[in-house]
Structure 1
Amino acid sequence: MEIESLRNKTDKLPMETPQGTSDAARVLRNRRRRRNICFAVIGVLVFVILLIVILAFTVFKAKRPVTAIDDVSLRDLKVSVDLARFQVLLNATLDVDISIENPNKVGFKFKDSNAQLNYRGQEVGEVPIPAGKIPADKTVPMNLTLTVMADRLISDSKFFSDVTSGQLPLSTKTQIPGKVSVLNMFRISVVSSSSCDFTVFLSNSTVGDQNCKYKTKF
């Protein structure tokens, strides 16, 4: 009986070995499949990240928007000199044409800002520039009207001498802050500035001697 029992156990062993080997192989194949899937996902993510970085620093690299003062013209001028009181009465309106160029492949959004009119460093006029957006590779023109606040200059002795000489030195200044969004992921702050010095010739009501400078910083 014992010999027969041992023989039966021995007969069963070869039947169990193939089943165990099949399960182990299946587990190994599943592990390899999961590992390959993980490697594939990681590879795709690395490729996408590299592609985004390359595009961000090449095609979609942020460029400097430029605010330019295209023209300054005198719309209205009325001036009178009160020699007894040593005062000048002045009423002047200037038309200032500016343009904002966006050389980027994405839009440029800018905030509310203003354009200033200065006389020898003193602000004598201001006009608001409302917020907006400039599409990619576009230039948007703007027409601004600046009125000289002459009451701020009545007590300035240089103003009296400039008016009597027939030449009034003025300057305009704009500073437009905004952001450039690259691939809707990277937002870069930009400030585009421009300034223009010019002279108003009171004898013939013209504007000349313009000297403009432009600056943009990230």
Structure 2
Amino acid sequence: MATTHPPHHRGGGGTNLASCLLATVFLFLVFVAAAVVLFVLFRPRDPEIQVSAVQLPGFSAANGTLRFTFNQYAAVRNPNRAAFSHYDSTLQLAYAGHQVGFAFIPAGKIAGGRTQRVATSFSVNALRPPGAAAAIEVDSRLRVKGRVRVLSFFTHHVEATARCRVAVSAADGSVLGVRC
């Protein structure tokens, strides 16, 4: 009489599970390393603003009141590899803590690694310096706000400001100095 023995199974279930877990951990580590490398290479940075000139054409002084047109010229550099879309950007002018002038900067796009020139102009209708001051100081604040799309998937909001103190002759409107 022949005896039949049940088939003998090896304990391979544990090694298959360990192999799957090891492969999963390896793929996760590769994904994390790739994400870190992409973030380092394509990390979004704020734009850089350099004010190049300030002018006051059309200056007039009468009865202790100054009227002028304020022109500010700046260069906005996009240090990112991706395009920078700017919107809601402004130039504000303040004297003695009060806003005396304001202008919106039109929306636009700056290609990666490029610089765009920005010229902003507005009129200041009535600025009254105290007493008979020979010079006045006004504060300008240029704010550029927008977003950078990284790898056409992630959006990063960026903002840069340039604050300048401008010394102006109260007699003829000449710019005596600009400190940014």
For normalisation by structure 1, the TM-score amounts to 0.66
Aligned residue pairs, count:
180
C-alpha distance in 1, partners of 2:87/2:30?
Answer: 36
The gaps in structure 1 that reach 5 residues or longer are 1-6, 82-86, 213-218
Residue 100 of structure 1, aligned match among 73, 76, 80: 76
Kindly indicate whether residue 107 of structure 2 is the aligned counterpart of residue 131 of structure 1.
yes
Quote the sequence identity (%): 23
Aligned to 1:45: 28
User: Is structure 2 residue 164 aligned with structure 1 residue 210?
Assistant: no
Cα-Cα RMSD: 3.1
How far did 1:53 drift? 1.5
**Quick one: which of 162, 165, 169 aligns to 1:197?**
165
Structure 2 unaligned runs (5+)? none
Structure 2 CA distance for aligned equivalents of residues 201 and 63 of structure 1: 38
Task: Give the secondary-structure state (helix, strand or coil) at the position aligned to 2:56.
Answer: strand
User: Counterparts of 1:114-129 in structure 2 under 5 Å?
Assistant: 114-129=90-105
Matching residue of 2:120 = 144
d(CA) in 1 for partners of 2:52, 2:37: 36
CA drift at 1:94: 2.0
Tell me how far 1:63 sits from its aligned partner.
Answer: 2.9
With over 3 angstroms needed to count, the CA separation of the structure-2 counterparts of 1:157 and 1:204, relative to structure 1, is closer
Letter in 1 for 2:120: L
User: What is the CA-CA distance between 1:174 and the residue it aligns to?
Assistant: 1.7
CA distances 1:75-129 after superposition (whole Å, capped 9, x unpaired): 2122323xxxxx43x4311221122222123333433031111222221111002
Pick from 62, 66, 84 the counterpart of residue 44 of structure 2. 62
Where do 1:157-172 residues align within 5 Å? 158=130, 160-162=131-133, 165=134, 167-172=135-140
In structure 1, give the amino acid aligned to 2:67: N
Question: RCO higher in 1 or 2 (8 Å CA, sep ≥ 6)?
Answer: 2
* Alignment match of 1:78 (pick from 50, 60, 64): 60
* CA offsets 1:54-87 (integer angstroms, 9 cap, x no match): 331x322333322222111122122323xxxxx4
State the distance in 2 between where 1:209 and 1:73 align.
11
How many angstroms does 1:205 deviate by?
Answer: 4.1
More helix by share: 1
**Aligned-residue offset at 1:133:** 3.4
Q: Distance in 2 between matches of 1:107 and 1:157?
A: 43
Distance 1:109 1:31 in 2: 54
Corresponding residue for 1:178?
Answer: 146
